[in-house]
């Protein structure tokens, strides 16, 4: 199993950012290179990326096993939907 950061670069493109913008915002060349190669980055880096892009970890990364299956990490949108469903369920009681 490995982590893919393809969603990170898709989100960056959607928001009008380039890889060079990561460097301009304090991410080292080593970190940017690791992200491009889907290599290990620490959780503090993930947190900083989420703060920079105003998103949740699931919006920028996903787990992919060796057979190509994707294991989804919750996104902000997904978490909001779950929260709305829970609120609606409580109102019905």
List, edge to edge, every strand of the sheet that includes 2-4. Answer: 2-4, 62-64, 70-71
Whether this prediction's pTM lies above 0.75 is answered by no
Question: What are the residue ranges spanned by the domains of the chain?
Answer: 2-92
| Cα–Cα dist 71/43, whole Å | 18
Per-residue confidence in pLDDT tens, the chain, 93 aa? 789 999 999 999 999 999 999 999 999 999 999 999 999 999 999 999 999 999 999 999 998 876 655 556 666 777 777 788 888 888 887
Q: Shortest CA distance to 55 belongs to which of 68, 70, 73?
A: 73
Residues 69, 47: Cα–Cα separation, whole Å: 25
């Amino acid at each position: 199993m490995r982590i893919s950061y393809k969603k990170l670069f898709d989100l960056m493109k959607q928001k009008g950012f380039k890889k060079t913008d990561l460097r301009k915002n304090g991410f080292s060349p080593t970190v940017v290179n690791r992200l491009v190669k889907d290599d290990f980055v620490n959780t503090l880096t993930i947190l900083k990326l989420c703060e920079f892009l105003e998103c949740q970890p699931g919006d920028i990364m996903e787990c992919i096993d060796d057979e190509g299956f994707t294991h989804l990490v919750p996104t902000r949108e997904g978490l909001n939907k779950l929260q709305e469903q829970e609120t609606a369920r409580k109102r019905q009681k």
